[in-house]
Amino acid sequence: MTDSLKKIKKSTGETVFFSEDKLCESIVRAGASKSQAEKICKVVNQKIQPGMTTSFVFRDTLRHLVREDVDIAVKYSIKRGVNALGPDGFLFEKFLEALLRQDGYQTKRNQMMKGRCVTHEVDILAWKDNNYYMIEAKFRNDANGRTHIDQVMYADARMKDIASNPKNNELGTKHFHTWIMTNTEFTDHAQKFAQCGGVRLTGWNYPNRDSLQKMIERTKAYPITVIPSMSEDARSKLVVHGLVLAQDLLPYTKEKLIKDFNIAPSTAARIQNEVSQLLK
């Protein structure tokens, strides 16, 4: 193998050595058999040239997985697709809002809310019945990044200041909560504080039964970044029109993607085909 000679670029700009073994392991973790993984890894490896991006590796791998097994392709794509919602937090916030709406919440994004002491900006205000959640969206480009206790404490203090303003709850029927959502994980101290203080945390693997991954799988609210042929140009054009979930594209034919969003014909055809296969 010549993996050591192939340096590829991460979304952060950092270069790393491509490893066929690690790629095979990630495919097996998604549920593929060892033989399926080895076959796909070999094909993907042959295409890789030094300087290519990790996004290319992900999308090409996903394209082959879709042909093998759609369910495995979805499991493989979720984490990478969510992490591709960077490099800033704007698209991640839009995705979280769409995810919450899919889960039955009403939402407003980027709200300025007056507390008893000062005015605060809330990333997402979500409510269901009389429960109102002040959501802090924490996007990390570093997959090993963590959300720490000080960030949880700050978000909780902000919620309490908003909740203590009588004008925000004139009828006294609203129940305010702090909710922090991230694409990575929380430190142990952050989890302990949240458990003690009644703060809701949603990270990639936390909590076990209702993590971000589990929410996505349960609601089938897959970000458009899981679609193998979704180029950055196409993604930008779709997001401007509020299309952030793969299922948002189900009503669009190839012709409509070309006409409405000026997406290249070949790309539009692949996107429409892959969306149909992923969500059939």
CA distance 78 to 73: 9
Same-domain check for residues 125 and 75 = no
Average pLDDT over residues 55-76: 86
Q: What is the CATH number of the domain that holds 202?
A: 3.40.1350.10
Give tens-digit pLDDT for 186-213. 999 999 999 999 999 999 989 999 999 9
Residue 1 has pLDDT above 50, yes or no: no
Same-domain check for residues 24 and 71 = yes
Same-domain check for residues 211 and 196 = yes
Average pLDDT over residues 163-177: 93
Strand order in the sheet with 175-182: 106-114, 119-128, 131-138, 175-182, 200-202
Give tens-digit pLDDT for 70-99. 778 888 889 888 988 888 889 999 999 999
Q: Could you tell me the pLDDT band of residue 38, with boundaries at 50, 70 and 90?
A: very high
Same-domain check for residues 47 and 101 = no
Instruction: Among 219, 244, 265, give the residue marking a domain's end.
Output: 219
Residue 48 has pLDDT above 70, yes or no: yes
Same-domain check for residues 203 and 94 = yes
The domain in which residue 192 lies consists of 90-219
